[in-house]
Each structure stands twice: as structure tokens, then as C-alpha cells.
Structure 1
């Protein structure tokens, strides 16, 4: 060979990109080749991935190679991406070309900050990356390597190394790859398991799981679970249209876990009230499709409204056993310290008080400010310690008190008004009622995020009331909600509201 094999590796923090590069260099040098690696780090853990670049060349006694310090578009033989959008970034940079590049990528997602900060669905289009990968690469090797790494108790870099070996893009045997892993002396067994899974996955044909001849039939969505009070709720839910059963099953599970079975009964009461308001309209044959969609939408968004984020729920989520199990599994069973970074505001703390007392204190700004200086501010709580865990566990134990708090009273005042508007609209326009219910998407989180969402929600709901009676009312409410979810500042929503106001004013003038 008279030219080096060029390899670009794109990885984000925690994926072992540096370890993968070290394995590649050690592998080449162990086989008597010359190798060089460089890296360009990103700005932060997820806003910019680190790009590693490796060149390897078979050693010759009469030649000393001069390697390049960075990847050049159109001149990369192998691109390895530890996350699916990083594969897209490599393609966008021109590192993947159809005449020479083998693209090896994990198809799992680790969402970027730019995707998470969008109030609505900010996820990038993974299908576009898939199409680009198949068109841009000479050979494409891609599968969910993060899942295989979790199975092996390792990180994704070990599976990527196995896929690199399985793709046979380097002229080295499997034993040499495994020797490079063993030579590190750290996490060897887990890395070898991940390597083997990655190697086997490259040659494995795609498979579609088929049920065996003696497999049990799928249980109904609302089948009893052996808990009499909850089974009674499931039986009630089963009387509603089948189109809503999946959402009802999920909604009941979340609502009851949030509070109790009595709260689950209130959830079904609310869904049945919406169904009752629309039943005459649907049974008259006007729009069965709209009716089914309304039931499903009600089941989904009423549950979301009832399971709101308060201090009690945040504490419960941080102390639930499944979370500790997941953290231990992801960390491979190693002993770790878990620090919760919390910043409670006085609004959240006052929300735990009875409505009368909480409201009275809010009218005393000096008292609230003094209490805020004493009780609020950044907190670091170690939940791997008995004291830290017990503090949050005690707050989570206030669940039985929740329905007597100021926060709950205010949430239900808003929910009651929201459901009343949906019931009124459902009697004449089920499609609009479904959009009114879907406006619950605008309310999420807590603290400032919750406040901004409430403000947008109020504006869209007010516009829905003004649009009622128009044949295109549902379409416009959906457009307003999408505009509200488009950006955090609310600029798109203000523009859309001006459009609505303009044609409503024209109608009034006419």
C-alpha cells in the first residue's frame, strides 16, 4: 500500500471515542504498521461532538510517512459514528463519499440541546439521515449499537470496534482486535462482550421476530391485573370506544401512579363527560371518525393534565426504585455517587400549603422574600446517602396531602375550565373539541417553563373561543398551537394570532 488508510471517528462525551481510537492505533502498531491519531473537541458534551482522525500505513524500511492532522472531505476511507445524527454530520461535512467510504454507525439517538430546547417536537429527521447514508457511502453498516452495549455491560465504542472488525475494512484478523482490547487491562470482559456482539451483528441477516406456534395470545389492553380497585377502573374504561383503549390503559396507569385509584376514577369521569357531550353528535352519523379521535385525544390529554409536575412528583421520580436500577445498570454496577441539583422557588413551596394559607402568604411579599432567602436557592442533595435519599423520599410521601394543596386547587380550577370549554364545543364540533383538548401540550414542566407554557395556553384557548362556529376553527387552533410550540420566545405565536385577529375583524366588519 502506498497510501494510508484514513479513519474518522465522531463521538460525544461518554461514548468512549478516545478509547476506540486508542484501540485502533494499538491494533495497527501491534501489527507493525505506522499510525497517528488527532482530535478536534466539540464545544460541549452534546452541542459539538469530538472528531477523531486516524491514519494507519504499513511500515516500510525505506520510507517515513508524513500523516495529515485532520480529515479531508472526499479523502476518508472509514467513518465511524457513535450516534445517528453524528453520521449525518459526517455526511454533511463531506467525509462520506460513494467512491471510497465505508460508514459504520450506531442508529440510536442521543438528543442534542437544540432538539431538547424546542417547546414542541424538535427531533431531527432520522429518516433523512438513513436515506443520505445509503446514497453517500460506498458501504453502509448501521444498527442500534447502544442497545448491544447495554446488553454487554459496556459502552458503545466496544460494539463499534467489533463492527469495524466485522466489516473487514482493515487487513487485520479478529484475534488482533481482541488483543488490542485486552492490552488496556480496564473493563476488558465487558468490552470483549460488546466487541463480539458488534462483530456478529455485521454478518447477521435482518430478522423479523415471529410468534412460536405455542405462544400465548396478546392480552387485551384493559385486561384485569389482579388489583380489585384498579381492575374496576379498567372495566369502566373498556366500555368506551375501542379506539381509545390504548390511551385509556396508559392514562389510567399514569394517573393512578401519580395519586391513587380515586384519582383514576376522576380521570374516567372526565373522559366519559367528554364522550357524553359528543355522543349525540357522533351517533347521528355526522362524523364517526371525529368522534373516535375525540375519545382518544381526551384519554391522552386529560391524563397529561392530571399528572402535572409539582415538588412531590419530582421527588417521587428521583427516588423510585426503577431509577436507581437503571443508573446501576448503565454504570455497570460500579459504586457511584448521585447528586441531585435542585433549585426550588417559593412558588413551589407555597404550592404545598393549604389554599387559604398559601394565598395569605402570597399577599405578604416581605415575608415571602425572607422565607425565600432562607429556604430557596440551589441545593445539592446526595441521594446515594441515607439522609439525602430520606429527604426526597419524605417529600414524595406527601402524595396523600396533594389534593389539599394550593397547587392542586389551582391546577384543577384550570382543568375544570378547560374541560368545560371542550364539552361545550364537543356538542357541535368534535374536531374543534379535540384541538381544544390537545392544547394541553402547551403546558409542561415547572418553574419558569411552566409559567411560559401557561401564558401561551391562555392565548391559544382565548383564540379558540373566538374561532368557535367557523368551519375551519379546528384547523386554525391546530396552527396556533403549532406556532406556540415552534419557539420559546412566542414570536411565531404572536404572528399567527395577528393573522387570526385580522380575518375575525374583517368578518365582524362585514
Structure 2
């Protein structure tokens, strides 16, 4: 094409645009943030283009919003891309810490070029939540990696700033972006875009200002590692005679070092059932402490009793239908949900729970004899199961479902006579007997047997899988009880059982133990 043919036409610009990638999940305002940046650029006479690629639900990935913007030039047509290219992104804005980590792994964040703006709070991924054990990734590793991966990092808890000021995190991210100075516009220009939005202006401006100032003063704050739980010692008095008697009993039967954990157990079991049930816990714990002392436990810091205080309380406060119903209808739970979703004073919140009861749970809630009789009559059991075993969406905010769950929660006065309670107590007794049998011979292994109770949790299918893993791990005891390193091997088996839901890692670990 000759010069005459292109005369009068705008030539393509060779200038590089400012490239911005936003990674945000549903409800975090990623689309609003993208619109604000585009509106700001256009208000200042720049050309801007935005695209988005939706993420996947249930926290397996964020939506990626991509913006390219460049100063306007009437004589030249800008060349803008539709997707971020590794090594060519100027700003990455991540609404959650692990999304920032993903952008580093994908090469979107690059040294010498990318300014990374991220909130340090966490929204756990499916891969983290599906682990039977603690699958939470270490947040400090992500921030440490950005020291090398990014040109500059602005990182602090923007979710907390947004919540404090009654807005969403997009406003805080916009404030941090303004403070970064990547775009040559004033703070007032950014605020003008928010004002033009027309909704939630004041909370958004307050959040923007707080994040802007914070980014200037402390542009990078590493997330704090999760602190260990602090267990308070039992008080001198509770203000209730029955509870005071429990505290007095606790202090007289256990040494000072064991009292905080035992007191936590008493509180848990009083809430689960009643003070008398907590008293039974203290009686059993006192007996275990006596056996611990006879087996030389003092030289081990009474580690056996310390673990028993924790896991016996967990075993006695098992998750049954009654417990689940009780937790669903508590006022504190409704308050927590309202706070989490940001319900305003004039708004009404309805929660819909998904429940899938099985006939096993129904029989477990019945009196011991009746529950066993129904289970033994296969025809009747199958007939009832076809009517019970189906998913239900339960609206706990309605009178019908609330009263139904409330009535089920009130059945805890009959809990000791149920089939589920009988089975849980038999299982607990068998578990403690195995640990006590090992105590005089292999103290460390006995302690590890107590810790294996961690594998049993939840209800329904989760509980069944937990029991299966527990039994498989303890099936190795005959091979380990005579070994000096038996406790180490049992700990490895327990850790393997917590790695995946299907127990694949545990299968391999059991084969290794069998070959010793």
C-alpha cells in the first residue's frame, strides 16, 4: 500500500499501553473495580479496553479481568490485546492472597515490571478444604516469593479495611491502586469515579481513603502465621453452684499443667450435653491420670493425660443429628452468618441448608433397642430408607423448619439412651483400652494411639470414612508395639491418613510398615 492510500487514515500506534490484570472471586467486586479503572482512564482522555474470563465456582479459581489503557491520540489507532501475556503485565491486582500466588506461578507477575497489589486475607481453596487434616497453605511463602517475582508489592489485609468501613474489597483495592501511582492521575480523579457510581458512595469512599493511606504508610505487611490457641485456666468461681463443683473437682484431681485443657473439655461437654456429662468426663480423666502416673508419666510430663484430656472430650462430644440441629438453630449462628454476609438493619436474611439424612442417622437417634430392631429388619429398614435418604433444602428462617430443628435439638435429654450414644461409648472404651494396654510397655506409642482419635470426625459418610481410616491405622499396632520407633511409625500412618480422603497415601504407608 502506497503513502497516498493511507493518507487521511489514522496510523497504528506503536506505544505500549498500561496493562492491568485483576483476579477476583464472586462477591469481591472485580467487575466494579474493572469498570472504575476504565471509567477513570476514559474520563482523563485515555483509550481503555477491558475483557474478562470467568472463573469456576466453589473457590477453584478467580475471574480474570484484563485492562489495557493508553493515552488517546487522534492520529494513531491503539493496538490493544484481549488477554494478559506472561512477562507483559504492568499491574496485577489480586483480591485474595493465593490468587496472587497463582499469578506468580503463571508468570503473569514478572521481576522488574509488575506491581503486585494483593490483600493478605485468605479464602480457602477447595484443594485446601478437602484435606481430612490441615491442608491450609502457608501464606507467608506467597509474600516471600513476591520479593523476587515482582518489581513492587503492596500487600495488607484489605478485606479487613473494607469490612471495617462497611464496603467491599474492590474499594480497598482501588485505593491501593491509586496509591501505587501507576496511572498518572490524582487521588481526586479516582474519588470522582467512585462518586459517579451512584451506589454505596460514602462507604466506598471511606474504604478507598483508608486503603490509600495505608498503602502509602505501610505498603507491605506480611500475613501473620496462625497463632496457637490459648487455653485459659479454670476460674476461681463461675457463678453457678453446679459448675463451681465441676471446677473444684477438676482442680483437685489433676495437676496444674493439665487443668486448662481439661477445663476446655468440661466447657465443651457441658455445652454438648449437661454438667453431669462433664462430670463423667472428669471421672474418666482422673482414672486415666492415675494410670498415667503409675506408668511413669511424670517423667513424660503426663503427655498421655494431656492428650486424653483433649481427645476424650472430642470423642464424647460426637456429631449426631441432635448436635447438628442444635448448632443450626442457635442465635449466635444466625448472628455470625448475618455478620459474614453484611446484612444491613433493614434487610431480612434467609439461610437455606442442604441436608441429606440417611436411615443410619434416624436409627442412631432412636432408643437403643428400637434402633437395633429396625436395622435388623432389612425389609422395614429399606422401606424407610427409600423415604428418608434424599437431599432436602431446609430454610431455617421459616417457622416450620426452625421449629422442626429446635424440637430435634431438644432431644438431647434422651441422648444417653440412643443407639448412636451406645455405639460411640463402646467405640471410645475400646480405643482407650488399646491405649491403656500399651501404656506400661510403650508410653510414646500409647500417646500416639490417643492422637489417632483425630481421624474420626463429622457424621454420616464423613464419620464412616473416619472410622475406616482409624481402624486401618490401628491395625498396624501388633507390628509396632515391640519396636522402639513404633510411635514414630504410627504417627506417620496417621499423617498419611490425613493426606487424602480416599486413603491412597495410607495404603502405601501400611505396605511400608508391613515390610519392616
By the TM > 0.5 criterion, same fold?
Answer: yes
Matches within 5 A, 1:58-207: 58-205=71-218
- Aligned twin of 1:12: 25
Q: Is the 8 A contact 1:243 1:295 kept in 2?
A: no
Q: Partner residue of 2:35?
A: 22
Q: Is the 8 A contact 1:153 1:330 kept in 2?
A: no
Q: Aligned Cα RMSD in Å?
A: 2.3
- The answer to which of 72-81 and 462-471 deviates more is 462-471
Q: Which has the larger radius of gyration?
A: 2
C-alpha distance in 1 between matches for 2:107 and 2:248: 57
Partner deviation per Cα, 1:382-404 (whole Å, 9 max, x = no partner):
11212221111111121211111
Whole-angstrom distance in 2 between the partners of 1:490 and 1:100: 44
Shift of 1:265: 1.5
Counterpart for residue 253 of structure 1: 267
The CA deviation string for residues 419-441 of structure 1, in whole angstroms up to 9 with x for no partner, is: 12222323333321221111111
Residue 213 of structure 1 is matched in structure 2 by none
Does the C-alpha gap of structure 1 residues 220 and 322 become closer, same or farther in structure 2, counting only changes over 3 Å? closer
Pairing 1:324–2:338 present: no
The alpha carbon displacement at 1:410 in A equals: 0.3
Residues 268-314 of structure 1 deviation map (CA, whole Å, 9 limit, x = unaligned): 2233222221113336x6x334x2x3333222211221221111111
Gaps in structure 2 of 5+ consecutive residues:
1-13, 223-229
**Whole-Å Cα distance in 1 between the matches of residues 49 and 495 of structure 2?**
49
Which deviates the most, 238-247 or 117-126? 238-247
Matched, 1:427 2:440: yes
1:370 alignment counterpart? 383
Task: List structure 1 runs of 4+ shifted beyond 6 angstroms.
Answer: none
- Separation in structure 2 between the aligned mates of residue 250 and residue 222 of structure 1, nearest angstrom: 8
Q: Distance in 2 between matches of 1:56 and 1:469?
A: 71
**Secondary structure, counterpart of 1:350 in structure 2:** helix
**For residues 81 and 356 of structure 1, what CA distance do their matches in structure 2 show?**
57
CA shift for structure 1 position 360 = 0.6
Distance 1:249 1:178 in 2: 53
2-side partners of 1:131 and 1:433: how far apart? 40
**Bigger Cα displacement from structure 2, 174-183 vs 362-371:** 174-183
Q: Tell me, yes or no, if the aligned pair for 2:39 and 2:193 is still in contact at 8 Å.
A: yes
Change beyond 3 A, Cα 1:127–1:230:
same
Q: 1:500 offset after TM fit, Å?
A: 2.0
Extract unaligned runs of 5+ from structure 1: 209-217, 504-510
Any idea what the Cα deviations from partners look like across 1:163-186, whole Å, max 9, x if unmatched? 212333322222222222222222
Mapped partners of 1:227, 1:266: distance in 2 = 18
Distance across 2 between alignment mates of 1:427 and 1:438:
17
- Shift of the 191–219 alpha-carbon distance from structure 1 to 2, 3 Å rule, reads same
Conserved in 2, the CA contact under 8 Å of 1:274 and 1:422? Answer: no
* Residue-pair matches, total: 490
